[in-house]
Structure 1
Amino acid sequence: MSTKHHRSRQQGPLVPLHQPLLSASPPNHDGRWMRRPTTSPGPEARGVRQMAAGRPSRQLLSLSSQQIQNLRQKDKWVPLPEDDDEDAAAASAALAAAPDSLPASLEALHGESLSSLATGDDFTALTIAPGMFQDLDASRARQQRGRITLYCPGDSFDRKKLDEVLRASFPASAIKSYPDVFYVEYFAASDDAPGGDLFFFDYGVVACWGLDSAQEAAVMRTIAHQAANQPVDSEELEVDQFEFNYSSLEKPHIQNDTVTLHKKAAKDHQVKLAISYALAQSTKLSLHERRVSAMVVETKHLPESLAASGKVALSPETIAKLIGKVFIQKAAVNLLSSVLDTPEFFWRAPDSFQALYERICEYLELEQRVEVLNARFAVLQEMLDMLRDHQNNHHSARLEWIVIYLIMVEVVVGLLEVLGLFGLVGNE
């Protein structure tokens, strides 16, 4: 494009392009996007691209659950929806007007004291003692950053029992019920411990915002495990960790598993709920990925045995059980679970909340991971169907040989009868 045409083109707002075309880094200070040098993709990255094109690779299907999660590009910069400019302008106008109106009101209320301070009669009264605001600064710093931890202690929660346990552990004013989630405002027992937010999703996931490890362990022990249906083993317990950061200088975004939000979102639990929906779905999907990986390990020796000896040391009943397990997991992901559904909360919530939820889903690559999971289901199903057909063919071949033997016996008996009629057999 020539320089003349470039200058005559009308300049519009900054529009983020699709991720494959731009760098994973955020815009720099002057708003320009920076492009990162490209490198040759490895076999795992090529497997993801083949998966997106409908051609699952063998390397990708053989990966474990943790390896599939590690394929997610964590350093990519995904912008999050921002608040309306009108709210920001109103806040700026209020701050700008505050210094002008404040002295007048103070003069009216405390005219003598204000006059004495202005003349410098008792200026030492304004001296700030060392360390006066250290506790306040530490509290603010603790509130600006924190951890987001998600647990999946069971397949689901007994909603009625969970409600009883929550009301026995927290005041009623701190609990709010949504169609498929309970929200709890967590108050710290002491000033040194942080407070936070808890979200209990019906499909067995707990999201903890701003709690430390001891508080999370107490919540899991006293609440989550008591209300969980079909609790998972400690080895199967799925745990995901993220971080949050409140800032008025950075644009809202998510990068390196850190969610950066505006300070105004700190007191809005619905913003955290919109984010937690996507994070909880990712954690639930990780549990299914782990279970499918275990099934892959359990059945990977079957094709090798068939290729080496031409036989499979499994009964038709065992193969039928494996096929049933694959179907149960596939149905849990695609039919019965809320992993793929847009939560009902967003039907009545503002569009900005759903946009926030969709951006987090984009960062977590939920659609791509579900495609990989379904591809692994397809491979497992195809392999087990092949083994079942092999068993059926082997059984059919045995029946055919039995029929052949019976026919041969019948022919011999008939031949002996014919020979007996002619007196060639049985005359002695």
Structure 2
Amino acid sequence: MSSFTMHGRKREQYGQYGGPLLAPLQSGRQQTAPPPQFPGQSLGRRIGPTSPLRDRRFPSGTRQRVSGSVAIGHPIGPPGRQRDKFVALPEEEDEVVTLLPAPLVDATLPTPSPEDSLAIAASLPPPFIFKDLPRDDVPRPLLRDESCWRGRITFYCVAESFDRKKLEELLKLTYPPNTIRSFPDVFYVEYIKGADIQPGGDVFFFDYGVVACWGMTKAQEMTIVRGIATQCMEQPLEEQWTEVDEFQYCYSHEKQQHVQNDTVTLHRRYAQDYKMKLAISYALAQSTKLSVYEKRVTDIVLETKNLPEALAEHGEVEISGHDIAKLIGKVFLQKSAVNLLGSVLGTPEFFWHAPDSFQALYTRVTEYLELESRVELLNSRFAVLQEMLDMLRDHQNNYHNVRLEWIVIWLIVVEVVVGLFELLGLFGLVGHPDKS
């Protein structure tokens, strides 16, 4: 049985044009014992690209809802999810058990007597009850460098989207044509070719502005981001909105593939299967993109949190109707990006033609990342913000209507006073007397 090291998720801030990376935030989570493994669960029919995750009814296992108040400096979403839960990944194919033929017995040999059988049994070594653990007296097979079976999975969200045509031209000019593969919404590049069954380095460029790097050093990742991604960005993100998520992968001989503590454990026979990496990267890239929207909503919440307090304390807010309209538009843009554009909620088109095992793998990883509950929480925050801004807009409209009413009242008062003086003048009570 192979073992792996618990890894905590690292979150960094990346500059818009290749600036220095800030120190990662430490989650401070202690290592805990993994919960019991759950058997594989059958999945339903394949879902179209426009179907939201919240409409699916897959078992959620040990998923917990993300909750809590907004705190300054702590983004909503990934830091609040349960990292140490165990999510079993589906196997591509069942193990085939081959029955070995019974050994042939030479009939010419004499049958040992009961006394001889007892003597032979006494001379054998005692059975080892922990036979699945390594023993000192049993030689272990010589493996290659164990470090090559572990590595980084890093995701960079640096733009709203990539110019797909420009990206394709740049990739063809930079890398050999046989190392580039195109999919409906992603480009794959074999950056480092693996040897035998050892994993290499792989890069995925998603159309919605996310770059995924498998098995590469930080220097190599910076070369990809600065040299390729920044040349093809459309609507590049500002430094405060860029997102960098880091996971770990581990290839082992364990039969049960799983994801736990932000570490994806796969069987070694999939070390060079880029399609399996792509299925996993789809879910992780959607999580990274969702983190950007979560940070934006956090910023809007922090920007407007004083308005209800001022309204409750003073009965009025020092914000114009124009600024309220801008906030309403900002909230609607983020809500439409999450729910309408499909980069976060939709099932990628790649799984329409891929084997069902890849969609099952994608679904399990989305369950681990709690995408469904995070989207529900994000939509609930959108609803609260929209309700608050509508209330402020109604308050501003009422205040404006009250001002107009008072203006009309004072105009009527002035008109009444003027009319009264005119009436008194007709009776000679007001005005200059006639000279005789």
TM-score between the two structures when normalised by the length of structure 2: 0.72
Pair 1:365-2:375 in alignment = no
Question: Any conservation in 2 of the 1:316–1:388 contact (CA below 8 Å)?
Answer: yes
Aligned residue for 2:181, secondary structure, equals: strand
Distance 1:60 1:338, change over 3 A: same
1:24 Cα shift?
Answer: 5.2
Matched residues in 2 for 1:145 and 1:157: separation?
30
* Aligned counterpart in structure 1 of residue 144 of structure 2, from 134, 137, 149: 137
Structure 1 residue 62: Cα displacement = 5.7
Change (3 A) 1:368 1:176: same
Matches within 5 A, 1:20-419: 25-27=35-37, 59-60=68-69, 66-85=75-94, 88-89=95-96, 137-138=144-145, 141-187=146-192, 195-419=200-424
How far apart, CA to CA, are the structure 2 residues paired with 1:165 and 1:366?
Answer: 33
SS of the residue 1:208 aligns to:
strand
Residue 417 of structure 1: how far off its partner (Å): 1.9
Paired residues of 1:65 and 1:289 also in contact (CA < 8 A): no
| DSSP-derived class of the 1:177 partner | strand
Instruction: Please tell me the residue identity of whatever aligns with 2:305.
Output: K
Tell me the alpha carbon deviations over residues 50-71 of structure 1, each in whole angstroms, 9 at most, x when there is no partner.
x69xxxx7x4356765353222
Secondary structure in structure 1 of the residue aligned to 2:340: helix
Worse-superposed segment, 230-239 or 247-256: 230-239
CA distance in 2, matches of 1:316, 1:170: 53
Matched-pair contact (CA < 8 Å) for 1:148–1:209? yes
Q: Is the 8 A contact 2:85 2:260 kept in 1?
A: yes
Contact 2:283 2:362 in 1 (8 A): yes
Secondary structure of the corresponding residue to residue 81 of structure 1: coil
Distance 2:173 2:36 in 1: 45
Q: Which amino acid aligns with 2:295?
A: R
When residues 188 and 234 of structure 1 are mapped into structure 2, their CA distance, relative to the original with a 3 A threshold, is: farther
Query: In the aligned structure 1, how far is the partner of 2:332 from the partner of 2:83?
Result: 31
Superimposed CA distance per residue, residues 6-31 of structure 1 (whole angstroms, 9 cap, x where no aligned partner): xxxxxxxxxxxxxxxxx951449xx9
Q: Is the 8 A contact 1:82 1:252 kept in 2?
A: yes
Q: Secondary structure at the match of 2:428?
A: coil
The answer on whether the counterparts of 1:147 and 1:210 sit within 8 Å (CA) in structure 2 is: yes
Alignment root-mean-square deviation, CA: 2.7
| Alignment partners' CA distance in 1, 2:205 and 2:392 | 42
Q: Structure 1: which 5+ runs fail to align?
A: 1-22, 32-47, 98-132
Displacement after TM superposition at 1:255 (Å)? 0.5
- Percent identity, aligned pairs only? 60
* Paired amino acid for 2:149: Q
1:188 CA displacement: 6.7
Deviations 1:162-200 (A, max 9, x none): 11111111111000000000011112799xxx8311111
Q: Distance in 2 between matches of 1:230 and 1:189?
A: 35
**Does structure 2 retain, via aligned residues, the 8 Å contact 1:148–1:243?**
yes
Q: Distance in 2 between matches of 1:183 and 1:68?
A: 28
Unpaired segments ≥5 residues, structure 2:
1-32, 40-62, 102-140
Measured in 2, the distance between the counterparts of 1:76 and 1:262 equals 20
Superimposed CA distance per residue, residues 287-311 of structure 1 (whole angstroms, 9 cap, x where no aligned partner): 1001111111111121222223222
Give 1:264's aligned amino acid. Answer: R
Letter in 1 for 2:380: A
Q: Which secondary structure does the structure 2 equivalent of 1:243 belong to? A: strand
2: CA distance between counterparts of 1:262 and 1:225? 34
Residues 43-89 of structure 1, C-alpha deviations (whole Å, 9 max, x = no match)? xxxxx97x69xxxx7x435676535322211111101111222xx42
TM-score, normalisation: structure 1: 0.73
> Do the aligned partners of 1:61 and 1:375 also contact (CA within 8 Å) in 2?
no
Contact 1:147 1:211 in 2 (8 A): yes
| 1:65–1:286 contact (8 Å) kept in structure 2 | no
Taking a change above 3 Å as real, the CA distance of residues 358 and 63 of structure 1, as seen in their structure-2 partners, is: farther
Contact 1:75 1:255 in 2 (8 A): yes
Moved more, 325-334 or 309-318: 309-318
Q: Is the 8 A contact 2:76 2:294 kept in 1?
A: no
What residue in structure 2 maps to residue 16 of structure 1? none
1:378 and 1:324 map into 2 onto residues whose CA distance is 13
Distance in 2 (CA, whole Å) between partners of 1:64 and 1:296 is 12
Task: Give the C-alpha shift of residue 248 in structure 1.
Answer: 1.8
